[in-house]
Structure 1
Amino acid sequence: MTRVCVFGAGAIGGYLAASLARAGADVSIVARGSHLAAIQANGLKLIKDGEETVWRVRASSDPRDLGEQDFVIVGMKAHAVPPVVGQFAPLLGKDTAVVPAVNGLPWWYFHGANTGTALDETWLESIDPGGAQWKGLGPERAIGCVVYPACDVPEPGVIHHSKGDRFTLGEPNGSDTERLRLLSELLIAGGLRAPRKARLRDEIWIKLWGNSSFNPVSALTGASLDVIGADPACRGLIHDIMVECKAIGEAIGARFGVTIEQRIQGGTDIVGHKPSTRHDVELGRPTEIDPLVSSVQELARRLAIATPTLDIVAALLRLQGQVLGLYSRKQNIENAIRAAS
């Protein structure tokens, strides 16, 4: 039986844990607080399509209780991972794969990328300060994952699924490995869509297009995606950010299979939806500024590409986060770049 540990079984991590349990995997989770207590007492409850299912999975706040795994899925917010990398060690055997199910540019991005730039086989300081994940987990363990479902945790121990079932997977070097196929098959058996892509980075950038533009504007204004896209001035702002991001992505080999207007309209068509960054603001949780925005800025500086529109929005977003106590990076992006150079 395949052993899978979900480290951080919140909304997305919990959804993956329940789906993998349905598939027959030996699932364990690392969680904490009231969420952990509820799962230990009552099991992990998933509410999907009006139906409730409960899955009994091993759960602990201490990874040492769970042992070595075949796969470790990281369900934490990207900015929360570097400080706790050392806690992953008891879960990692010789061949354990690590699957970061996170938003933004992943820490492993330049492993096996072959961009022809000085970025190859390096990390970005804005998302992996000091190379904590690169050194502590190892990029050779990484399997890429682009996350699309929308879920939330209405109460401890309960995962509510709203929409979406796709988790696109890919190896950093684009190969179709046995471990990649096994993970894809498990997710599919659990009722999810899990396509394997040789060019996963293209899909990362298509999603990042929206994350780096719609997310900050929504976080700052409180507006849903459809409202942002329907406002001419905000739509123009989103367009200009996407132009800048496209230039950065293409400079490191990404291919954009849709136009900017198509991508903007795709977001605008989602009526009433506010992205996770705005939800974090409303709930008083730390915001994902660095993986969604600072990482793009860091790339731009390293590639000598100007991003005047993104820089203005990013400055406002960071100030909002600092004023609200939701963003506490001690280094700004320019210092991070210098530290990595």
Structure 2
Amino acid sequence: MKICIYGAGAIGGYLGAQLALAGADVSLVARGPHLAAMKADGLRLQIDGEERVARVRCTSDPAELGPQDYVFITLKAHSVPAVVDLMQPLLGPGTAIVTGVNGIPYWYFHRHGGALAGTTLQSVDPGGRQWHGFGPERAIGCVLYPAAEIVEPGVIRHVYGKKFPLGEPDGSKSARVAHLSEMMVSAGLEAPIRDNIRDEIWLKLWGNLCFNPISALTHATLDIITADPATRALSRAMMLEAKDIAERFGVHFRVDVERRIDGAGAVGAHKTSMLQDLEAGRAMEIDPLLTVVQEMGRLVGRPTPMVDAVLGLIKQRERMAQAA
């Protein structure tokens, strides 16, 4: 089985290294100094107090790799539409695309049931580029819970977590998702198969949609956001708006709002990915985390005043950062 990690940054690199070290046939798509370092010295993974080196095929050109059995997309979600054409050489008749991106994935309404089945979301898949370029039938959902960072080109430090829940859009336990789970477990990862992966997607998005923009606007870490009465209340209000929308699509939240907020606070003085992107001058993941909630609210006629307000602020913050 051939596995390609498209976007071998911190999380993609951690995943690829673990799979490769367990004997899987892995290739990585990356770019820049990180790619050059991995080509020269292998992918160096710092984990459990030691450094492990994975020697894997690395490239910036997917055409060098040919069709794969599984392609993990571990790019920032807003970067994916632009690489749909570049990824075509990786896709054979039976290739599965594993969407390890934050927020709502392009295939969300595939085999969803109801009046919105087959709907594409402009905020995450403008013009249906992924829907038509990849095909929703290829998709396997995946939620990324680990934290990792690139400490220098070619070197990834695992911070915490090893859980990657998987699921088919229709909730079935297919042969392809079962085999993928087995491979990941053999690599020391947790890869439970969910019969409703959308519940897991929303559970992670629930926190990201508020903690990420609030942190980028205030430069506060998770412990501060969740402890301060004002930002905690704003987080709660945004999450309740999202919960109202998600439940209209049949989503079940297995924890309540307060427990979800407390769980984020327990992570400690952690900078969210959006704050890290802002500080590094990179584009922030705004549409996949906030605009999509607004768009889905419009689909079911539900207002999102708090999400709308924070969305307006964070978009203005991005414009100001780009103009600086």
Q: What residue in structure 2 maps to residue 224 of structure 1?
A: 221
Residue type of the alignment partner of 1:200:
I
Q: Which moved more, 1:174-183 or 1:259-268?
A: 259-268
Q: Distance in 2 between matches of 1:266 and 1:60?
A: 38
State the SS of the aligned residue for 2:213: helix
- What corresponds to 1:38 in structure 2? 37
Q: Determine whether 1:129 maps to 2:126.
A: yes
Residue aligning to 1:203: 200
CA distance in 1, matches of 2:42, 2:301: 51
Report the residue type matching 2:161 in the other structure.
Answer: G
Match of 2:179 in 1: 182
Work out the CA distance in 1 between the residues paired with 2:238 and 2:163: 26
- Verify the 8 A CA contact 1:22 1:189 in the aligned structure 2: no
Residue 133 of structure 1 deviates from its aligned partner by: 0.5
Q: Distance in 2 between matches of 1:172 and 1:79?
A: 21
* Runs of 5+ unmatched residues, structure 1: 327-341
Look up the match of 1:338. Answer: none
- How far did 1:270 drift? 1.6
Structure 1 position 23, deviation (Å): 2.2
Q: C-alpha separation between the residues in 1 aligned to 2:282 and 2:292?
A: 20
Match in the other structure for 1:52: 51
CA distance in 1, matches of 2:169, 2:227: 37
Deviations 1:168-203 (A, max 9, x none): 000000000111011111111111111000011111
Cα distance, 1:158 vs. partner? 1.1
Paired residue for 1:316, among 310, 313, 317?
313
Q: Does residue 10 of the first structure (1) align with residue 15 of the second (2)?
A: no
What one-letter code is carried by the residue in structure 2 that aligns with 1:11?
A
Q: Is the 8 A contact 1:184 1:195 kept in 2?
A: yes
One-letter amino acid matched to 1:6: I
- CA offsets, 1:73-121, max 9 Å, x none? 111111001011001111111000001111101111111111x23x211
Correspondence for 2:135: 138
Give, in angstroms, the shift of residue 49 of structure 1.
1.7
Residue 266 of structure 1 and its aligned partner are, at CA, apart by: 1.1
The SS at the match of 2:182 is helix
Equivalent positions of 1:1-341 (< 5 A) are 2-114=1-113, 116-117=114-115, 119-325=116-322
Contact 1:149 1:164 in 2 (8 A): yes
Once residues 5 and 258 of structure 1 are traced to their aligned partners in structure 2, the CA distance between those partners, rounded to angstroms, is: 34
Match for 2:101: what amino acid? V
Structure 1 ranges of 4+ moved more than 6 A: none
Instruction: Output the CA distance in 1 between the equivalents of 2:52 and 2:315.
Output: 40
3-state SS of the aligned residue for 2:69?
A: strand
TM-score by length of 1: 0.93
The alpha-carbon deviation at position 283 of structure 1 amounts to: 1.2
Q: Which moved more, 1:31-40 or 1:291-300?
A: 31-40
Is this contact kept in 2: 1:79–1:127, CA < 8 A? Answer: yes
Q: TM-score, normalised by structure 2?
A: 0.98
CA distance in 1, matches of 2:170, 2:33: 40
Question: For residue 318 of structure 2, what is the amino acid of its counterpart?
Answer: G
For 1:9, the aligned partner's letter is A
Structure 2 counterpart of 1:61, one-letter code: S
Of all paired residues, the percent bearing the same amino acid is 54
SS at match of 1:324: helix
